[in-house]
Amino acid sequence: MTPSLLPDYPTRGPAQPGTVYLVGAGPGDPELLTVRALRIIAQADVLVYDHLVSQAILDLVNPAAERMYAGKQRGNHSVPQDDLNLLLVKLARENKRIVRLKGGDPYTFGRGGEEVETLKENGVPFEVVPGITAAAGVAAFAGIPLTHRNHAQACVFVTGHLKDGSMNLDWPGLARRRQTVIIYMGLNGLSYLCEQLVAHGLPADWPAAIVQQGTTANQRTVTGTLTTLPELAVNAGLKAPTLIIVGEVVKLKDKLTWFSETG
């Protein structure tokens, strides 16, 4: 018999009825789930999940749990965010153990803050279970360190589209050397992103990479420069979800690669 994980560790106890658990599912590989996340999803009465949650992780959820798909693809939300916030309140008031399962980390471009605001306003108990955000997991599997003493002393996470669908970012702040910029959900705006970074001061040959479905069997990484990456991504036929990495650390990929891409 396999021994229990951390048998002597004082946990926060089992999932409680009437409580909403915002759980980070990590970047895709089920082995990157936290121990707390694994325990909570195994106890769910209701699962509300996004499209970024991999099937391998869904297979670990309590098989008796009612499942509700919330979508959350760009331009295609099965449940509008405001309605979803109120749905979580309704389900909790039915005295069920609710798991809101999100790809990556709930508080990193996962709209977890918006959902928790609504829960708090309605007096619903909740717990946030952090997950490995895509930036950390995908970069590691792609062989690209987010920071490095010789290349980057800072790391900036941004989203490739805002609430109104635009990409109105702090371009001067992003177009700086000695830092790594990670762009979530930026595939559709990749050409514009690269153009703006060059226009605001980065060299045209500045290293950049884009990773599709990082940490999974379908991972594919394309590297180039701010000038070449958009065309390379099109030629490779990459599809969301992707993560874009901009910075000198991209040059380390060939040296530090360890994960075999077969997709």
Catalytic residue, candidates 45, 59, 72, 253: 72
Q: For the CA atoms of 230, 232, 236, 239, what is the dihedral angle to 10 degrees?
A: -20
50 is catalytic: yes
- Token pair, residue 196, equals 């703006």
The tokens describing 42, both together, are 């195994």
Closest CA to 202 of 164, 231, 239, 176: 176
Q: Is 72 a catalytic residue?
A: yes
Reduced DSSP (H G I as helix, E B as strand, rest coil) percent helix, strand, coil of the chain, to 5: 30, 25, 50
Q: Which of 29, 50, 96, 253 is catalytic?
A: 50
d(CA 162, CA 160): 7
194-227 b/e with 16+ CB inside 10 Å = b?
bebbbeeebeeebbbbbbbbbbbeebbbbbbbbe
DSSP 126-139: EEEE----HHHHHH
Q: What does the block give as tokens for 157?
A: 């996470």
Q: Which two tokens stand for residue 13?
A: 């106890």
Question: 44 is written with which tokens?
Answer: 């769910």
How far is the C-alpha of 197 from the C-alpha of 195, rounded, in Å? 6
Catalytic residue ranges: 50, 72
